[in-house]
């Protein structure tokens, strides 16, 4: 297995670094001029490229917390193809060409097909407000727009041999500066077990805050599984394969002892380098919120894992 020199934050570094970045966002949001201008300008430039969407309210568990400010959700990102710091995706991702864009869907399906983003956008869309939890112990509440992944799956008719779904993100060195370095084993790949993928909460996401996705959030299409750590949610997807074996994911290649295949949010199972018991619900400075098992979606998803040891299958 090749070795990758991706940056590993030390557990002790996470809070001060995030606090620093968070402070910049706080300042940017609070000030109309001065130090905050470049951050706010970035967000505005990005939103100028997005389009409003039509959608209905979808059925999702109601959350006690309000959605995170859009400015924060679109400037504090993890998208290593555009750099490893939280601010880089918003600065760098405008180079990604999202038109035209197609998603190839194949593998163990009766009707493989290539589908254009325009066709996906023409389908009936809904909004789902989901709590999101990064493995780095910060969280946000995001109003996503899209459709249940099962709707897309029904178009290609998975066969009985389909046991897992593999998602592949775009990897374009000319458009994505991070892909020019060996930060991860590009392309970024992720996967779900078939029953997880077909679960009604699993969301094929085309937009957020009522508009198409900004590039830094994974335009034009990404996957969202709200009961799992954020890294499961592959951005800017170009391929979806229904497969018979559990796919090896980019993060498992980077560190299988740290980033498991299941990646269910679980305060009882610490990351090897830090606790997962609490989280910073951004823009909070401190990890004051108790992390909930399955990120609060236990009523919906616990049955998927009956009989499984979730500490061994982390």
Exactly one of 73, 134, 147, 240 binds Mo ion (CB under 5 A); that residue is 134
Contact 239, 168 (CB under 8 A): yes
- By CB under 6 A, the residues from 201 to 220 that bind ligand MTE are 217-218
**Which residue's entry shows tokens 């997807």?**
237
Nearer to ligand MTE, 71 or 81 (CB): 81
Q: What is the DSSP letter of 177?
A: G
Looking at the DSSP assignment, which residues form a beta bridge with residue 145? 127, 207
Q: Is 231 in the site for ligand MTE (CB under 6 A)?
A: yes
SS3 label, residue 230: helix
Nearer to ligand MTE, 158 or 254 (CB): 254
Exactly one of 130, 144, 149, 188 binds ligand MTE (CB under 6 A); that residue is 188
Q: Is 169 in the site for ligand MTE (CB under 6 A)?
A: yes
How far, in Å, CA of 97 to CA of 94, rounded? 8
Q: Is 234 in the site for ligand MTE (CB under 6 A)?
A: yes
Nearest to 192 by CA among 145, 238, 138, 231: 231
Q: Is 88 in the site for ligand MTE (CB under 6 A)?
A: no
Q: What number of chain residues touch Mo ion (CB under 5 A)?
A: 5
- By CB under 6 A, the residues from 51 to 80 that bind ligand MTE are 77-80
How far, in Å, CA of 188 to CA of 131, rounded? 23
Q: How far is the CB of 111 from ligand MTE (least distance, A)?
A: 26
Tell me the residue nearest to ligand MTE as measured from the CB.
230
- Write down the H helix ranges in the chain: 11-30, 37-48, 70-73, 88-92, 117-121, 149-156, 194-197, 250-255, 298-301
Q: How far is the CB of 2 from ligand MTE (least distance, A)?
A: 18
For 187, list phi and psi in degrees, rounded to 5. Answer: -70, 155
- Which range in 143-151, 160-168, 226-234, 241-249 contacts Mo ion by CB under 5 A? 226-234
Looking at the DSSP assignment, which residues form a beta bridge with residue 193? 164
Q: What number of chain residues touch ligand MTE (CB under 6 A)?
A: 16
- Which range in 6-14, 87-95, 229-237, 304-312 contacts Mo ion by CB under 5 A? 229-237
Give CA torsion, residues 196, 162, 100, 39, to 10 deg. Answer: 30
Contact 228, 202 (CB under 8 A): no
- Which range in 14-22, 27-35, 227-235, 303-311 contacts ligand MTE by CB under 6 A? 227-235
Q: Is 81 in the site for ligand MTE (CB under 6 A)?
A: yes
Q: Is 276 in the site for ligand MTE (CB under 6 A)?
A: no
Nearer to ligand MTE, 144 or 164 (CB): 144
Quick one: tokens of 83?
């750099």
User: Residue 233, preceding bond cis, omega within 30 degrees?
Assistant: no
Give CA torsion, residues 275, 276, 281, 285, to 10 deg. Answer: 0
- By CB under 5 A, the residues from 64 to 103 that bind Mo ion are 78
- Which range in 34-42, 106-114, 156-164, 232-240 contacts ligand MTE by CB under 6 A? 232-240
The contact set with Mo ion (CB under 5 A) reads: 78, 134-135, 230-231
């Amino acid at each position: 297995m090749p070795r990758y020199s991706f940056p590993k934050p030390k557990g002790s570094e996470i809070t001060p670094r995030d606090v620093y970045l968070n402070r910049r966002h706080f300042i940017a949001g609070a000030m109309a001029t001065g130090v905050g201008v470049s951050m706010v300008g970035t967000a505005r430039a990005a939103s100028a490229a997005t389009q409003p969407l039509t959608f209905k309210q979808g059925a999702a568990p109601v959350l006690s917390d309000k959605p995170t400010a859009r400015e924060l959700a679109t400037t504090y990102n993890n998208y290593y193809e555009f750099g490893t710091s939280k601010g880089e995706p918003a600065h760098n991702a405008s180079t990604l060409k999202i038109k035209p864009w197609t998603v190839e869907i194949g593998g163990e399906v009766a009707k493989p097909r290539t589908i254009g983003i325009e066709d996906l956008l023409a389908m009936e869309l809904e909004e789902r407000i989901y709590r999101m939890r990064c493995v780095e112990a910060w969280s946000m509440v995001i109003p996503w727009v899209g459709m249940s992944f099962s709707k897309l799956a029904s178009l290609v008719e998975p066969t009985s041999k389909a046991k897992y779904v593999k998602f592949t993100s775009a990897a374009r060195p000319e458009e994505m500066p991070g892909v020019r370095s060996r930060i991860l084993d590009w392309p970024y790949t992720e996967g779900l077990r078939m029953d997880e993928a077909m679960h009604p909460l699993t969301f094929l996401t085309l937009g957020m805050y009522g508009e198409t996705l900004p590039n830094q959030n994974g335009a034009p299409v990404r996957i969202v599984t709200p009961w799992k750590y954020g890294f499961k949610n592959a951005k800017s997807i170009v391929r979806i394969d229904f497969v018979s074996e559990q796919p090896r994911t980019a993060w498992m290649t980077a560190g299988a002892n740290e980033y498991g295949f299941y990646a269910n949010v679980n305060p009882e199972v610490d990351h090897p380098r830090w606790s997962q018991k609490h989280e910073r619900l951004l823009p909070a400075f401190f990890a004051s919120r108790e992390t909930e098992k399955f990120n609060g979606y236990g009523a919906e998803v616990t049955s998927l894992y009956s009989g499984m040891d979730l500490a061994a299958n982390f």
